[in-house]
């Protein structure tokens, strides 16, 4: 491995490969994708338990120590460029050494160094989603980029009721700064509980896309890109694309492989569907802090490796780094270790790869709606992720556990804070984020208890789909507090 690391230079986008200047903006060919997928049948045999305990875990543990990857609570936004470079190199070493396990065949899909370099240097720097007047272009942003982030928002896979689905979706879409709508998870369809693998799951996805499209029509934005769910199997995604009024080719699909560099058949099927149907796939890996990757440092380099591996295997330049903390913060982006390590992962990817990155300003907040701490939990990661080079994602509240705890005002806060953070330097943004974190850290588990807040229907007028005066006034109060610590809002 020492020789391998010596030859792997941090090339950013300026490699000495001649074909880079000839093929910028080209995605992998069909033949190359087939070759990669063929390795799921022909690669070295490795039982899953052996892959986990003898291959993946020892490599992560060793590489964290070898590259001295450390989590510093005082530096939420990574300002050390050497650390960013080392995290990227460690992730590449991990990917080259371990590979990706196809769990159905128990064969390892090996990626070659040249394949990785070529893909990361030649993926397109921008993609367009949505249609007509509602089409938007997502771009590769840089650290301290002067381009404002695009804003994606929605329930973030959290549970929504049949009755509230359309107004909840509409509350996001009617926010002017929202560019892409993210799905929620129906709890029932026609009064029947949604269960994985059941016929109801199929119809839940069809109903869900109908609700999103109807909300978009009511909000006057019928062409907005809707980002759909990846079910427990590929069937719901495929069927919801084929029915009349279903997902369009200008929409996108979530592709969420299981943790620790694994690619089950159904994920490859979903990726194949996106490629053949023509819609965009979004890689959303979940490298769990406290899982087999170990602590925050191991999860960070694993997340970088997973984003790279699945961007190549699924043939999409759009990735969404995600690092839930197993014990206390299942996807709560404001949780300090999760936020810091997601920021490190994003920094490594934007610096060294042509990838288009979205990331949760608040994938899920601990606090419920209509509380000041919810807005603080949104603002801190929104500043950090804007400055480090991501486009932003606004999600749900109460850890995403409870039905109808999400609303479009979260996307408003995400967008306004993100746009205000453009132009900040990392060091200044880091101090600002720490000041905001001090306003909510005491309510975080295990030492604190987040406020329950309110459901959507308790803090929005459901008929007019507008926030209550209490909710609006609370946001204005928090916005004023953010201005007082130096955040300059655009309006």
The per-residue pLDDT for range 239-259, each reduced to its tens digit, is 899 899 999 999 999 999 999
Question: Could you tell me the two tokens for 331?
Answer: 């996807």
- Pairing of β 280-283 and β 252-255: parallel
Cis peptide before 446 (omega within 30 of 0): yes
Percent of the chain with pLDDT over 90: 84
| DSSP reduced 3-state for 50 | helix
pLDDT at 29: 66
Question: Could you tell me the two tokens for 416?
Answer: 């306004």
pLDDT at 229: 82
Decide if pLDDT at 8 tops 60.
Answer: no
Question: Could you tell me the two tokens for 66?
Answer: 């070898």
For residue range 181-207, what is the model confidence (pLDDT) as tens digits?
Answer: 999 999 999 999 998 888 898 899 999
pLDDT at 22: 34
**Which domains, from first to last, does the chain contain?**
2-122 (no CATH), 126-484 (3.20.20.460)
Residues 6+ positions from 187 with CB-CB distance below 8 Å: 159, 160, 161, 162, 193, 194, 403
Its sign, for the CA torsion 224, 375, 486, 430, is negative
Q: Is 376 exposed, middle or buried (0-12, 13-18, 19+ CB in 10 A)?
A: buried
Percent of the chain with pLDDT over 70: 93
DSSP-assigned states of every residue in 389-441: T-EEEEEESGGG-STT---THHHHHHHHHHHHHTT--HHHHHHHHHHHHTTTG
Helix (H) or strand (E) holding 218: helix 199-218
CB contact at 8 A, 241 and 153: no
Residues β-bridged to residue 466: 461
Q: What angle do CA 319, 325, 331 make, to 5 degrees?
A: 50
CB contact at 8 A, 112 and 32: no
Q: What angle do CA 216, 222, 224 make, to 5 degrees?
A: 80
Q: Is 241 exposed, middle or buried (0-12, 13-18, 19+ CB in 10 A)?
A: buried
Could you tell me how far CA 44 lies from the centroid of its own chain? 31
Question: Could you tell me the two tokens for 391?
Answer: 């486009």
Question: Could you tell me the two tokens for 337?
Answer: 């270790």
For residue range 398-453, what is the model confidence (pLDDT) as tens digits?
Answer: 999 999 999 999 999 999 999 999 999 999 999 999 999 999 999 999 889 999 99
pLDDT at 28: 65
Helix (H) or strand (E) holding 281: strand 280-283
- For the chain, count helices (H), then strands (E): 18, 18
- Pairing of β 252-255 and β 225-228: parallel
What's the Rg (C-alpha) of the chain?
21
Decide if pLDDT at 17 tops 50.
Answer: no
Residue in the structure block whose two tokens are 């997973």: 306
pLDDT at 329: 73
For residue range 270-313, what is the model confidence (pLDDT) as tens digits?
Answer: 999 999 999 999 999 989 999 999 999 999 999 999 999 999 99
d(CA 166, CA 154): 11
CB contact at 8 A, 394 and 151: yes
DSSP state of 141: -
pTM: 0.93
Average pLDDT over residues 80-100: 98
d(CA 241, CA 274): 10
Q: How many CA atoms lie within 13 A of 271 on its CB side?
A: 26
Q: Is 327 exposed, middle or buried (0-12, 13-18, 19+ CB in 10 A)?
A: exposed
Mean pLDDT of the residues in the chain: 91
CB contact at 8 A, 1 and 97: yes
pLDDT at 465: 98
Q: What angle do CA 90, 92, 94 make, to 5 degrees?
A: 70
Whole-angstrom CA distances from 59 to 6, 25, 98, 430 are 18, 33, 8, 31
Decide if pLDDT at 230 tops 90.
Answer: no
Decide if pLDDT at 358 tops 70.
Answer: yes
CA-nearest of 6, 166, 13 to 93 is 6
For residue range 140-165, what is the model confidence (pLDDT) as tens digits?
Answer: 999 999 999 999 999 999 999 999 99
Question: Could you tell me the two tokens for 118?
Answer: 């070529």
């Amino acid at each position: 491995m020492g020789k391998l690391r010596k030859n792997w230079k941090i090339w950013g986008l300026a490699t000495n490969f001649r074909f880079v200047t000839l093929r910028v903006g080209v995605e992998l060919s069909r033949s190359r994708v087939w070759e990669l997928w063929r390795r799921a049948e022909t690669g070295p045999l490795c039982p899953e338990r052996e892959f986990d305990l003898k291959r993946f875990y020892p490599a992560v543990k060793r590489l964290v120590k070898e590259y001295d990857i450390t989590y510093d609570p005082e530096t939420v936004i990574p300002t050390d460029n050497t650390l960013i470079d080392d995290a990227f190199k460690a992730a590449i070493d991990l990917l080259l050494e371990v590979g990706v396990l196809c769990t159905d065949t128990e064969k390892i899909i090996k990626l070659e160094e040249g394949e990785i370099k070529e893909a990361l240097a030649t993926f397109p720097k921008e993609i367009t989603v949505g249609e007509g007047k509602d089409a938007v272009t997502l771009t590769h942003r840089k650290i301290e980029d002067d381009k404002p982030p695009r804003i994606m928002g929605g329930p973030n896979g959290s549970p929504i009721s049949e009755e509230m689905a359309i107004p909840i979706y509409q509350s996001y879409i009617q926010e002017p700064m929202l560019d892409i709508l993210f799905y929620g998870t129906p709890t029932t369809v026609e009064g029947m509980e949604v269960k994985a693998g059941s016929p109801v799951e199929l119809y839940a996805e069809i109903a869900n896309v109908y609700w999103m499209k109807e909300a978009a029509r009511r909000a006057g934005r019928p062409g907005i890109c809707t980002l759909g769910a990846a079910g427990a199997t590929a069937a719901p995604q495929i069927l919801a694309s084929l029915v009349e009024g279903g997902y369009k080719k200008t929409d996108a699909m979530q592709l969420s492989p299981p943790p620790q560099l694994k690619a089950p058949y159904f994920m490859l099927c979903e990726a194949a569907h996106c490629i053949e149907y023509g819609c965009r796939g979004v890689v959303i890996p979940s490298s769990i802090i406290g899982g087999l990757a170990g602590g925050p440092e191991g999860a960070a380099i694993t997340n970088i490796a997973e984003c790279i591996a699945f961007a190549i295997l699924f043939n999409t330049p759009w990735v969404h780094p995600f690092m839930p903390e197993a014990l206390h913060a299942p996807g709560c982006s404001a949780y300090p270790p999760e936020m810091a390590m997601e920021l490190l992962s994003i920094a490594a990817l934007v610096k060294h790869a042509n990838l288009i990155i979205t990331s949760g300003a608040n994938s899920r907040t601990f606090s419920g709606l209509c509380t000041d701490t919810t807005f603080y939990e949104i603002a801190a990661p929104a500043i950090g992720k804007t400055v480090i080079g991501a486009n932003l994602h606004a999600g749900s509240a109460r850890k995403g556990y409870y039905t109808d705890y999400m609303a479009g005002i979260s996307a408003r806060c995400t967008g306004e804070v993100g746009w205000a953070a453009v132009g900040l330097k990392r060091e200044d943004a880091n101090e600002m984020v720490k000041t905001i974190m001090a306003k909510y850290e005491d309510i975080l588990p295990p030492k604190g208890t987040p406020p329950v807040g309110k459901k959507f229907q308790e803090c929005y007028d459901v008929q007019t789909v507008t926030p209550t005066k209490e909710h609006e006034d609370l946001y204005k109060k928090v916005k004023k507090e953010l201005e007082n610590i130096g955040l300059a809002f655009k309006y």
